[in-house]
Amino acid sequence: MKKLFLSSAVLLLGLPAFAQQEKINDFRTADEKSLAEEVFKLEKKTDKFNLFLNMHGDFETTWTDSHFDGGKFRFQQLRVEAKGQINSWLSYRYRQRLNKGDNPSGYFDNVLQSIDIAGIGLNYKKWSAFLGKQCAAYGGIEFDLNPIEIYQYSDMVDYMTNFMTGVTIGYNFTPNQQLQFQVLDGLVGSSQSMYGDYTPAKLPMVYTLNWNGNFNDVYKTRWSVSVMNEVKEKQMWYFALGNDFNISEKVQMYFDWMYSREAVDRKGIITDIVAPNGWTKKAGDTDIMSFILHVNYRFHPAWNIFAKGMFENEGVYKTNTMDIPDAQGVETPVELEKGKYRTALGYIGGIEYYPFKDRNLHFFATYIGRTYNYTDRAKAFGASDYSTNALQVGFIWQMPVF
């Protein structure tokens, strides 16, 4: 194992250079020059156009239980991004994933799913707005980070629809306290493809109220409550409490709590467990509770070690009936008993190296472990416990092109 890990590092570092609102945050350092400025000796005098290439590439080896699955080079994330401040009140932003395929048919908002963000920002005194496709204003510190910074999301975030079209209105009632209200199209495809044979809502929207707080840069909050009404008379609720703690110059941590209560299984986790042969209607009355704890220790200006734990319970909050097909496609009404169906555990640790003081480029080596434990309720549908393990060695860089 040790030899394989070291070999992975050597292979990756020998490669030639490759030529989630970060979702809202931009972690480019204030004095980091763009590639155009350095190569062509251009002096940048405007903020009207900024171009970035967001990269997360690695060599990964994986195991399922004790079985070695294999290893490969890959880009986990590759996004191109352009944004600028036109004047004091108008800005714009565009970001698209280059490693995600698109099928143009059936998009509810008529925008390719590979496009994360495409819209304009407006500002007036304490008020702000963003119009267009954008990141959902869900709470949680991790949800708000640039996706290239995340080695492994929790099930909660992994299965969520994060980028949708709509409008966000923000009000800064103090310089460090902000409220946001957001309305987005909930559907990113047809109602049939997302939920099955339910009657779709006439206004399939996601409504979110978000509070972003900052207390002397020591404690920061990102809390939210959302309600979704995408299926007629079937509401889905989502709550998130994100808490960020800057304990010292060397130690930083965040803790996220999230809970989703869905009259129709929007994420599809329980549906996949109880209906492995397919479904015509998703399961009803499901819920997920998720906890995330991430700790960074910057023991040297160029080195950071980190550890992350994830704990999630996934189940049914009210007994209900679902038509479940067998291997031959014959559907039978089956009772989904109230209670927990699966516990998902995640444990991640690693080290990061920042070779330049004035750049966000960093190299990393990390271990990612996941364990899925099913209850007897889930095992009655054929589910069985399993675990996955991965070793990754790679690089992350939000490269400023211009």
Q: What does pTM read for this prediction? A: 0.87
In this predicted structure, the answer to whether residue 311 has a pLDDT above a threshold of 90 is yes
Nearest to 254 by CA among 178, 309, 312: 309
What digits encode the pLDDT tens for the residues 321-372? 999 988 888 889 999 999 999 999 999 999 999 999 888 999 999 999 999 9
CA 180 – CA 162 distance, rounded (Å): 16
d(CA 254, CA 353): 21
Each residue's pLDDT tens digit, 4-45: 333 443 333 333 333 334 443 444 444 577 665 665 555 666
Q: Given a cut of 70, is residue 316 above it in pLDDT?
A: yes
pLDDT grade for 143, boundaries at 50, 70 and 90: very high
What's the pLDDT band for 47 if we cut at 50, 70, 90? confident
Q: What is the pLDDT of residue 110?
A: 84
Q: Average pLDDT, stretch 110-128?
A: 93
pLDDT at 41: 56
* Residue 151 scores a pLDDT above 90: yes
Question: pLDDT tier at 218 (50, 70, 90 boundaries)?
Answer: very high
**Mean pLDDT over the full length of the chain:** 89
Confidence of residue 108 (pLDDT cuts 50, 70, 90): confident
Q: Which of 47-61, 94-108, 331-345 has the lowest mean pLDDT?
A: 94-108
Q: Tell me the mean pLDDT in the region 256-264.
A: 97
Using a pLDDT cut of 90, give the percent of the chain over it: 75
Out of 38-47, 253-262, 292-301, which region has the weakest mean confidence (pLDDT)? 38-47
Q: Which neighbouring-strand residues pair with 88?
A: none
Residue 315 clears pLDDT 80, i.e. is over it: yes
Mean pLDDT for 121-148 is 95
| Three-point CA angle 337, 334, 289, nearest 5° | 35
**pLDDT tops 80 at residue 181:** yes
pLDDT, tens digit, 9 for 90 and up, residues 70-79: 999 999 999 9
The pLDDT > 70 percentage for the chain reads: 88
Nearest to 66 by CA among 389, 393, 348, 392: 389
Per-residue pLDDT at 135: 95
